[in-house]
Amino acid sequence: MTSSYEAVKHSALSAIEEDRQDLIDLCLDLGNRRDYPGQERDVGEAVAGWLRAAGVSVRTQTLSQDSVNVIGTIRGTGDRAGGGRSLILNAHMDTQGAAPAGDGEIERKIRGAWTEGGLLYGRGLANDKAQLAAELIAARAIAASGVTLKEDLLVTAVAQETSAPTHEPDALRDWSGIGPAISQVREGHGARWLVEQGVVADYALVAEVSDFTVTVGQAGYLRLRISVPGNIPYTPGLDRGNGIAGNPNPFERAAHVMVALEEWARCYEAENHQEFWGGTFVPKAQIYEVAGSGPAWTEMQDYCYIFFDIRLTPDAVPAEISNSVRRRLKPLALDCEVVSYDYRRGYIAANCEPLLDALKSAHKTVLGGDLELASPRMISMWRDANAFNEAGIIAIGYGPPTQDAIGAGLAGATRPIAIDDLLATAKVIALTALAICGVVG
């Protein structure tokens, strides 16, 4: 690298260090905005305004009236012969789940953001607006340095990573095959939309909580709807008969189906580990939701619907997994229908060495020590890297740790991130971007 690069590197790191309070303020601003899947426009408009104020060119993509993607661009000269490569810095704006029951204080505790004792608190910050803020701070530092990049740097804030919007019931009913909306579908929808509308690059760095380790592969998923048939009798006239099938009540039948699914999930997890050069996939499965088909005594047949979420290794064959579930349920003799309604493949980043090497160097510069591979838990999640790798954009993931990883995914978990760790994340992102995009001069 030239002395010009070293000067830009020093300038960016110094700017980020000075931006500590701005990083905190940005996290609190974004973290206290409405971020339900499909309702991220308020966050998106704030991100777009912040980038414009930072002197970064901005455009948006509309997914719906209430949902947008935001794309900031620091344009390069197009010097690919000189080693420049384009890079997307990606983070998502939505956080899984719907509005909680209760008053505004309950919503603030579950969905809000605050700082205390050097930590940033908020489920929506950990997933994923703190990492988004780190990317924005890194991009502003690069833009403010006056550097001319060899290739484009794109900063993207995407919608609908955790789920497509559940407030658009018609499409969801089509997917699930029943009336009630289901809680989580179509993960990574916003990133897919981003790419399909022409936002492409050589590489993508996806910022998510990752314990300062690198994810070079992410699991996919398959979601099944198991329809348990029966009839709900008038209680005084109930005759449970002999065995499971002798009981007409679809909900009591479904209890046995759920036990069988749990047993299947335990075996599936134990038997389907996949080791690869970047770590180990440990795919898991669980029941996500249970719903009835409607009021009793209104249809010829009643159903209990079970929604089953199965995580997939990149080599998994969905049809074989569906058939395995059917075989496990067959001895119950309940004539259950098993239908898949949502599927996404998992991917391992191929030919990612240039991006991985740049990240390793940046990590060592900022944090010291070697960059380690992510844990099976991190690898076995869906993340937007899949959407980019699917499109041929080489993508890996990186981010800070949280202080209470055990609570990840629980509604009340605040998952605090140390401010120092988030500041370090911004520095690592900035150095990685400079190395990949390249510096003129």
pLDDT in tens, 126-172: 999 999 999 999 999 999 999 999 999 999 999 999 988 655 544 44
pLDDT at 415: 83
398 and 263 part of one domain:
no
C-beta neighbour count of 330 within 10 angstroms: 12
C-alpha 366/C-alpha 60 separation (Å) is: 32
CATH number, position 130? 3.40.630.10
331 and 378 part of one domain:
no
* Owning domain of residue 74: 3-219+346-437
Total domain count for the chain?
2
Question: In sequence order, which ranges of 63-188 are alpha helices (DSSP H)?
Answer: 104-111, 123-124, 130-144, 169-176
pLDDT at 179: 46
198 and 61 part of one domain:
yes
C-alpha 80/C-alpha 257 separation (Å) is: 57
In this predicted structure, the answer to whether residue 274 has a pLDDT above a threshold of 70 is yes
248 and 331 part of one domain:
yes
Please say whether the dihedral angle defined by the alpha carbons of residues 183, 375, 365 and 424, taken in this order, is positive or negative: positive
pLDDT at 349: 98
198 and 224 part of one domain:
no
* Residue 181 structure tokens: 């909306």
pLDDT at 2: 47
pLDDT at 98: 77
CATH number, position 284? 3.30.70.360
308 and 369 part of one domain:
no
pLDDT at 293: 87
C-beta neighbour count of 8 within 10 angstroms: 25
pLDDT at 338: 96
199 and 234 part of one domain:
no
149 and 190 part of one domain:
yes
**Please, which contacts does 244-250 make with residues 24 or more away whose CB atoms are closer than 8 Å?**
244/332, 244/333, 244/334, 245/332, 245/333, 245/334, 250/292, 250/302, 250/303, 250/304
pLDDT at 184: 76
pLDDT at 183: 65
* Residue 252 structure tokens: 């009591």
pLDDT digits (tens, 9 = 90+) for 282-298: 999 999 999 998 888 88
56 and 155 part of one domain:
yes
Mean pLDDT, residues 204-215: 98
225 and 215 part of one domain:
no
pLDDT digits (tens, 9 = 90+) for 57-116: 999 999 999 999 999 999 999 999 999 999 999 999 999 887 777 777 777 777 899 999
In this predicted structure, the answer to whether residue 346 has a pLDDT above a threshold of 70 is yes
Question: How many Å is the Cα radius of gyration of the chain?
Answer: 24
pLDDT at 253: 98
- Does residue 275 sit in helix, strand or coil? strand
pLDDT at 176: 46
Q: Are strands 302-312 and 203-207 parallel, antiparallel or unpaired?
A: unpaired
pLDDT at 3: 53
96 and 161 part of one domain:
yes
pLDDT digits (tens, 9 = 90+) for 363-406: 999 999 999 999 999 999 999 999 999 999 999 999 999 987 54
pLDDT digits (tens, 9 = 90+) for 3-42: 577 888 999 999 999 999 999 999 999 999 999 999 999 9
User: What is the pTM assigned to this prediction?
Assistant: 0.94
183 and 269 part of one domain:
no
Which of 344, 371, 395 terminates a domain? The answer is 344
Which of 314, 329, 344 terminates a domain? The answer is 344
Which of 344, 366, 396 terminates a domain? The answer is 344
Mean pLDDT, residues 226-236: 95
Mean pLDDT, residues 241-262: 97
Q: Which of 322, 310, 286 is nearest to 222 (CA)?
A: 310
The overall average pLDDT reported for the chain is: 92
